[in-house]
Amino acid sequence: MDVLVDTNILLRSIDPAHPMHFDAVNSVSALRLRGFQPCLTAQNIIEFRAVCTRPVEANGLGMSKAQANAEITRLKSLFPIKPDTASVFQEWERLINEYEINGKQNHDARLVSVMITYNIGSILTFNKDDFTRYNGISVLTPNDVLIRSVS
Is-contact 118 112, C-beta < 8 A? no
pTM higher than 0.85, yes or no?
yes
- Per-residue pLDDT of 71-127, as tens digits, reads 999 999 999 999 999 999 999 999 999 999 999 999 999 999 999 999 999 999 999
The torsion of the CA quartet 81, 96, 58, 80, rounded to 10 degrees, works out to -10
Closest among 91, 76, 89 to 38, alpha carbons compared: 76
- Per-residue pLDDT of 28-56, as tens digits, reads 999 999 999 999 999 999 999 999 999 99
Domain boundaries, the chain: 2-147
Q: State how far the Cα of 55 lies from the Cα of 110, in Å rounded to an integer.
A: 25
Closest among 38, 50, 42 to 9, alpha carbons compared: 38
User: Is the confidence at residue 137, as pLDDT, over 80?
Assistant: yes
> pLDDT confidence of 4, banded at 50, 70, 90?
very high
- Going across the sheet that includes 138-140, the strands are 81-82, 37-41, 2-5, 122-124, 138-140
pLDDT at 149: 54
**Ramachandran region, residue 119 (left: φ > 0; alpha: ψ -120 to 50; beta: rest):** left
42-53 and 65-78 are packed helices; what angle lies between their axes, rounded to 10 degrees? 150
Q: State how far the Cα of 145 lies from the Cα of 30, in Å rounded to an integer.
A: 7
pLDDT at 102: 95
pLDDT at 107: 95
In CATH, the architecture of 2-147 is: 3-Layer(aba) Sandwich (3.40)
User: Is the confidence at residue 8, as pLDDT, over 60?
Assistant: yes
